[in-house]
Amino acid sequence: MASPVEDDPPFLEPLPDPWVVRGLATLLLSGFVVALLLASAVSVPETVTSGFVLRPAHGNNPVRTPQAGMVSRVEIVEGQPIVEGGTLFVVRSQAIGERSSELRALEAESEGTREALVLAREKFESERRAEREALLRQRAENDSLERSLDLHRREVELTAEVLGRFQKLADQGFVSRTDLIRHEREANEAELALRTEQSERAAAEARLEQLELRHERRELTRKDSERQLLDQIEQTEIRVAPLVESLARRTGSELTIAATCSGSVVRLEVQAPGSFVQAGEILGEIACENEPLKAHLTLPKTDLALLEPGQSVKLLFDAFPYQRHGVRYATLRWISPASVEVRGDRVFRALADVEDEAIIVNGKPRALKPGMGGAAKIVVGRRRVIAYAFEPLRQLRESMRAGPGG
């Protein structure tokens, strides 16, 4: 009779057949070889990941108060759409009355300068007409003297010719000595008259040159005086322009600060009435619509050497998950030459040109807006999958490498 222990089956199955072991080993080895071949052949994009935020290409428009005072009304909130010319803040300031007095004084000064310019131009024109008439009279006198001088020259030539003939006749005894003396006296008188006429002609030319020189000098003086008055008017207008602009939207002692463009409010420094502000202080920032957007990236220090302008950037928006709406692309345009501190960490800033202006959601385009952000992946190259397997070995080798002196 057999014992109960011998009849019980063993706890473990006996070894499998050899062909099963060989098949399983072949399958595992084949899988390893296939995986190795795929890792050697397949390459994946190598990226540098950072955060990004969309901002207008020319930055946000700061809203400043031109006068010191107290904010009496705040008409906007962060994220609110605004239209150009819409009221943003109302500031109550005592300096507005002072500016009104200054504006009236400058306007009176400008008006007085303009009247002085009109009177000066009238005076200059009167003097110019008188000088032109004097020049015309002097030129006419010079022309008359020139004609008289020509007559005296011909008279001198004629008397000299007559004197020569009488000299020959006197030598031959045909005329008396008295007639010869008389013709000599006429020739001398004609010569003296010619010299007198030449002196008068020279004096007239000198007077004409003096008049012309005086006219040129007065023209320069007039132009200089007119230019000074015009410069004074221009300087006054330069001072008047900002006063007019700052007082254009005032009511009593209150100054209304309006939006310079249509867009949206991205940041508010003053969110409630009652705050005292200084002249030129920023009250908030607005982003203008229809302005091209750029992606502002904050790059880590690692792998910075692999980045360069012109590389492709994948934008993964938080507002539009890429699993449903896809990835958007941009082009890296600029990388800061030095790092900056952001929240206690040193990072590098970069700018990228965004290719899309809107994203289709449920068949409708949704415009990209300033302030949207997410993750950015900059494609710096491609690496084979097998290279990642050898990465720990490279790190170990580099950590164990001795220095140049070792």
In a domain, 26, yes or no: no
d(CA 128, CA 134): 10
Q: Do residues 276 and 369 share a domain?
A: no
Q: Provide, rounded to the nearest whole percent, the portion of the chain with pLDDT above 90.
A: 2
Pair 330, 298 in one domain: yes
Identify which has the larger pLDDT, 165 or 364: 364
CA distances 54 to 32, 200, 319, Å, are: 46, 88, 12
| 283 token code pair | 């009250």
Residue 243 above 70 pLDDT?
no
Please tell me the predicted confidence (pLDDT) of residue 389: 65
Q: What mean pLDDT is predicted for residues 356-381?
A: 84
Burial grade of 395 (CB within 10 A; 0-12, 13-18, 19 or more) = exposed
pLDDT of residue 196: 80
Q: Quick check: is 9 in a domain?
A: no
On average, the pLDDT of the chain sits at: 79
Residues 109 and 242 in one domain: yes
- What's the mean pLDDT in 362-383? 82
Give the H or E element holding residue 170. helix 95-172
What pLDDT is recorded for position 330?
Answer: 92
Q: Which residue would you say has higher pLDDT here, 252 or 31?
A: 31
When divided into structural domains, the chain yields a total of 3
SS3 101: helix
Q: Position of tokens 């409630």?
A: 272
- Please state at what angle helix 95-172 crosses helix 177-247, rounded to 10 degrees: 170
DSSP-assigned beta bridge partners for residue 359: 366
**pLDDT digit string, tens, across residues 300-353:** 887 788 888 888 899 999 888 888 888 889 999 988 888 888 777 788 889 999
The answer to whether residue 136 scores a pLDDT higher than 50 is yes
Residue keyed to tokens 């619509």: 289
Q: Residue 358: what pLDDT?
A: 86
Q: What is the model's pLDDT at position 1?
A: 45
Residue 270 scores a pLDDT above 80: yes
Element (H, E) at 107: helix 95-172
Which residues constitute the domain of residue 86? Answer: 61-93+253-288
Q: Which has the higher per-residue pLDDT, 337 or 382? A: 337
The reply to whether 244 and 107 lie within a common domain is yes
When comparing pLDDT for 150 and 248, which is higher?
150
> What is the share, in percent, of the chain residues with pLDDT greater than 70?
81
| pLDDT higher at 223 or 401 | 223
Q: Token match 């428009």: residue? A: 61
Q: Is 397's pLDDT higher than 70? A: no
CATH number at 227 reads: 1.10.287
Contact at 8 Å (CB) between 51 and 376?
Answer: yes
Q: CATH code at 69?
A: 2.40.50.100
Structure letter (DSSP) for residue 2: -
pLDDT digits (tens, 9 = 90+) for 178-225: 776 777 777 777 777 778 877 887 887 888 788 888 888 888 888 888
Residue with the larger pLDDT of the pair 125 and 252:
125
Does some domain include residue 404? no
For residue 157, what pLDDT is reported? Answer: 78
Assess whether 273 and 166 both reside in one domain.
no
Condensed to tens digits (0 to 9), the pLDDT of residues 74-123 reads 888 887 888 888 888 888 877 666 666 666 777 788 888 888 888 888 88
Measure the CA–CA gap between 175 and 181, rounded to whole angstroms.
11
**Pick from 360, 359, 355: nearest CA to 329:** 355
Q: Which one of 288, 311, 341 terminates a domain?
A: 288
| Whether residues 150 and 188 fall in one domain | yes
Do 260 and 68 touch, CB atoms closer than 8 A? no
| 2 dihedral zone (left: phi>0; alpha: psi -120 to 50; beta) | beta
For residues 222 and 136, membership in a common domain is answered with yes
Q: Could you give the 3-state DSSP secondary structure of residue 261?
A: coil
Instruction: Judge if 132 and 205 occupy the same domain.
Output: yes
Look up residue 83 and give its two tokens: 């239209």
What phi, psi does 209 have (nearest 5°)? -65, -40
Query: 330: domain CATH number?
Result: 2.40.30.170
Higher pLDDT: 248 or 266? It is 266
pTM value is: 0.46
Q: Which residues neighbour 320 within 8 Å (Cβ) at sequence distance 6 or greater? A: 328, 359, 361, 366
The answer as to whether 332 is a domain residue is yes
- Say whether pLDDT at 130 is over 60: yes
Whether residue 133 has pLDDT greater than 70:
yes
What is the spatial distance between Cα 223 and Cα 230, in angstroms, rounded to a whole number? 10
Q: Within this chain, do residues 369 and 228 fall inside the same structural domain, yes or no?
A: no
Q: CB under 8 Å to 215, separation ≥6 — which residues? A: 131, 132, 135
pLDDT in the model for residue 352: 92
